[in-house]
């Protein structure tokens, strides 16, 4: 049997709006699109954080090496010049560096702080345009237990010298060295004489 086609009358806009409001077709598609956008945004944030961490670790590694080299007692170059040279050789750019060297006769201490701004690619969607990556390091090299030796010439080549010929003075020196050694055991005295006191 053949079916007969009967034309439907056109629906009014209010009827179409009611049908659209009651229909549940396509809701998963809309939910899927929203989830896709959220996943892209979270993946972008992960990429920005990965770039930030990579930059921070590279700056920290370079700063650690530079501060160790600058704090060496054998280093003759200015500490800030050494640190800046390490950063130039590591091809790091757009950083703010502060170096504070302190030195004395037996030690050298170098403190450094560096920070750089990292422009973000995906976090701009959330209003964050850049992150500041900081790094700091301190290095110190010192010489401990510095010993000072005193050599007395008692060979006779300095005849007439009061220290070489005066036995009482030698005894006083020996007693004082023993007393100081008991009082300050970390001090080490060495008194070499050609003949016993």
Q: Is 62 exposed, middle or buried (0-12, 13-18, 19+ CB in 10 A)?
A: buried
Is 0.75 topped by the overall pTM? no
Q: What is the pLDDT of residues 7-42, one digit of tens each?
A: 666 677 788 788 877 877 777 888 899 999 999 999
Check whether 146 has a pLDDT greater than 90. Answer: no
More confident residue, 50 or 189: 50
Domain shared by 138 and 72, yes or no:
yes
> Could you give the number of structural domains in the chain?
2
Q: Is 79 exposed, middle or buried (0-12, 13-18, 19+ CB in 10 A)?
A: buried
Q: What sign has the CA pseudo-torsion 172, 178, 183, 187?
A: positive
More confident residue, 191 or 157: 157
Domain shared by 69 and 134, yes or no:
yes
More confident residue, 97 or 11: 97
> What would the mean pLDDT of 81-85 be, rounded to a whole number?
93
Domain shared by 100 and 180, yes or no:
no
Q: Is residue 10 part of a domain?
A: no
Q: Is residue 4 part of a domain?
A: no
Domain shared by 48 and 108, yes or no:
yes
Domain shared by 174 and 136, yes or no:
no
Check whether 95 has a pLDDT greater than 80. Answer: yes
Domain shared by 102 and 192, yes or no:
no
Q: Are 102 and 109 in contact (CB under 8 A)?
A: yes
> Which range marks the domain in which residue 165 is found?
147-197
């Amino acid at each position: 049997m053949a079916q007969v086609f009967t034309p439907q009358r056109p629906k009014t806009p209010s009827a179409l709006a009611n049908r659209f409001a009651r229909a549940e077709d396509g809701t998963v598609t809309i939910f899927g699109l929203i989830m896709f956008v959220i996943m892209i945004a979270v993946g972008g944030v992960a990429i920005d954080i990965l770039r930030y961490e990579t930059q921070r670790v590279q700056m920290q590694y370079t700063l650690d090496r530079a501060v160790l080299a600058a704090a060496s007692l054998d280093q003759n170059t200015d500490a800030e010049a050494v640190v800046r040279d390490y950063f130039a050789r590591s091809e790091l750019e757009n950083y703010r560096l502060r170096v504070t060297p302190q030195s004395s006769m037996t030690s050298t201490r170098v403190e450094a702080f560096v920070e750089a701004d990292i422009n973000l690619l995906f976090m701009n969607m959330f209003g964050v345009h850049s992150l500041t990556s900081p790094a700091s390091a301190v290095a110190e090299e010192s010489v401990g237990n510095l010993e000072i030796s005193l050599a007395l010439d008692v060979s006779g080549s300095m005849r007439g010298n009061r220290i070489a010929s005066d036995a009482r003075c030698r005894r006083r020196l020996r007693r004082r060295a023993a007393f100081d050694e008991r009082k300050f055991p970390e001090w080490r005295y060495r008194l070499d004489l050609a003949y016993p006191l």
